[in-house]
């Protein structure tokens, strides 16, 4: 099975690669033999993640700055990765953002916050698909994975957010997050049909709640509404990532 999931000789780009999920995905891809480009707005953090990845071959991993949704930044990343690691076979659109007003109530949600989140979560993924997916289509092969969310499919039960905190701050799931992830699922379906005949596979990974420091009250309320009775762990998503990234 490990051989079937091998990504030896492949080059992967992960946006938001310095975050909780991005760093786990990067480690899994590197362990499977891929050369990994860790792309993040925080270039220093991206380099730290890349520097800590397991080494099966050199050059295995590099950290890069990426400012989404700027097309020039994405094109610059594509050129650098192609030059330093090789043509990109795998794109993981994982980048997401939170603004200072991210958790405001819907009735008072600022358009500036809405647009800023959409710019990264949805438009940024679209631009990355244009640049990297277009190159994949020209070569006749490639895999794009868009990291969506259960809240792109179902509405968030607001009762679970009573007295809920994440790392000491009150939290909720704002409408802009749900809308951006629903849009990402729509983009995934469209591009899967658009590029399928050219050898480019486009899929979405749509996790439920992943534990990342939420307080006990949130965790209890959330788990009461989940058949498994618990939240997911970040490392539980890597199997799906490896399966969809490769040819297994």
Please state at what angle helix 111-118 crosses helix 175-195, rounded to 10 degrees: 30
List, in sequence order, the alpha helices (H) in the chain.
20-31, 43-51, 71-84, 111-118, 124-128, 134-139, 175-195, 216-223, 238-245
Q: Is 222 a catalytic residue?
A: no
> If DSSP states are collapsed to H, E and C, what string results for 155-224?
CCCHHHHCCCEECCEECCCCHHHHHHHHHHHHHHHHHHHHHHHHCEEEEEECCCCECCCECHHHHHHHHC
The Cα–Cα gap between 239 and 164 comes to 30
Spot the catalytic one: 64, 151, 161, 177.
Answer: 177
Beta-carbon contacts of 76 under 8 Å, excluding residues fewer than 6 positions away, are none
Backbone angles phi, psi at 62, to 5 degrees: -140, 150
DSSP letter (8 states) at residue 122: I
What the block records as the tokens of 140 is: 């006749």
Give me Rg for the CA atoms of the chain: 18
Name the residues annotated as catalytic: 177
């Amino acid at each position: 099975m490990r051989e079937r999931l091998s990504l030896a000789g492949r080059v992967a780009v992960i946006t938001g690669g310095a975050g909780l999920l991005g760093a786990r995905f990067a480690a899994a891809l590197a362990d499977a033999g891929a050369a990994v480009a860790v792309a993040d707005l925080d270039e220093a953090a991206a380099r730290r993640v890349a520097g800590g990845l397991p080494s099966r071959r050199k050059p295995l991993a590099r950290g890069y700055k990426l400012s989404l949704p700027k097309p020039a930044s994405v094109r610059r990343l594509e050129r650098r990765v192609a030059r330093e690691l090789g043509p990109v076979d795998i794109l993981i659109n994982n980048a997401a953002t939170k603004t200072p007003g991210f958790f405001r109530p819907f009735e008072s949600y600022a358009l500036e916050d809405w647009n800023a989140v959409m710019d990264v979560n949805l438009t940024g993924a679209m631009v990355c698909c244009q640049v990297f997916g277009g190159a994949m289509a020209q070569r006749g092969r490639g895999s794009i994975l868009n990291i969506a969310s259960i809240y792109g499919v179902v509405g968030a039960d607001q009762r679970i957010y009573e007295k809920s905190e994440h790392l000491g701050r009150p939290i909720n799931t704002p409408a802009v997050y749900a809308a951006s992830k629903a849009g990402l699922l729509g983009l995934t379906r469209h591009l899967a049909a658009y590029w399928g005949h050219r050898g480019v596979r486009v899929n979405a990974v749509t996790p439920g709640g992943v534990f990342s420091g939420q307080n006990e009250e949130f965790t209890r309320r959330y788990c009461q509404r989940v058949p498994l009775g618990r939240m997911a762990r970040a490392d539980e998503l890597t199997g799906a990532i490896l399966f969809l990234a490769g040819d297994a």
